[in-house]
Amino acid sequence: MEILDDMPLDPRDPNGPVRVPVMDKMKDQKMVVFGKVEQGTLRLGDKLCIAPDNKPCQVLSLENFKDELIKFARPGDNVKIKVSNLQEEDISKGDCLCPRETPMHSS
């Protein structure tokens, strides 16, 4: 454990492409995704896709961990994201939200 605690971490880039790993999901009137912004800045209206399948979606609303509406989220922020165009079967834990123009590579 000490080795892991002492490992240096790369800084999170708020200007890089958005990367939000999916921690959980729920179906409301639209799909709601729970995750933590690991890189980039997530904004209302962002056009994203869900990797690895690259299914398109768009950010309809953002909430912080206190369930307050926010306009953007930066690296390290835990967020609840309401997205359009996704069904429950389109998204799973471990998938990642990323910009359509710079999707994540998968193998």
What single string gives the DSSP state of each residue in 59-74?
A: EEEEE-TTS-B-SEE-
Q: What mean pLDDT value characterizes the chain?
A: 93
Query: Does position 103 have pLDDT exceeding 90, yes or no?
Result: no
Q: Per the domain annotation, does 1 fall within a domain?
A: no
Number of domains within the chain:
1
Query: Does position 16 have pLDDT exceeding 80, yes or no?
Result: yes
Q: Per the domain annotation, does 5 fall within a domain?
A: no
CA dihedral 15, 23, 30, 68 (to 10 degrees): -70
Name the amino acid, one letter, at 102. Answer: T
Q: Per the domain annotation, does 8 fall within a domain?
A: no
Q: Per the domain annotation, does 69 fall within a domain?
A: yes
Alpha-carbon span 50 to 6, nearest angstrom: 33
Beta bridge partners of 85: none
> Could you tell me the pTM of the whole model?
0.88
Task: List the CATH number of the domain containing 66.
Answer: 2.40.30.10
Higher pLDDT pick, 11 / 91: 91
Alpha-carbon span 96 to 69, nearest angstrom: 22
Query: Does position 97 have pLDDT exceeding 70, yes or no?
Result: yes
Our CA angle for 33, 89, 86, nearest 5°, is 55
Query: Token digits for 17?
Result: 């492409």
Q: Per the domain annotation, does 6 fall within a domain?
A: no
Q: Per the domain annotation, does 86 fall within a domain?
A: yes
What's the pLDDT tens digit per position in 46-72? Answer: 999 999 999 999 999 999 999 999 999
Q: Per the domain annotation, does 4 fall within a domain?
A: no
Q: Per the domain annotation, does 25 fall within a domain?
A: yes
Which residue range(s) make up the domain with 80?
Answer: 17-99
Position 107 scores a pLDDT of 66
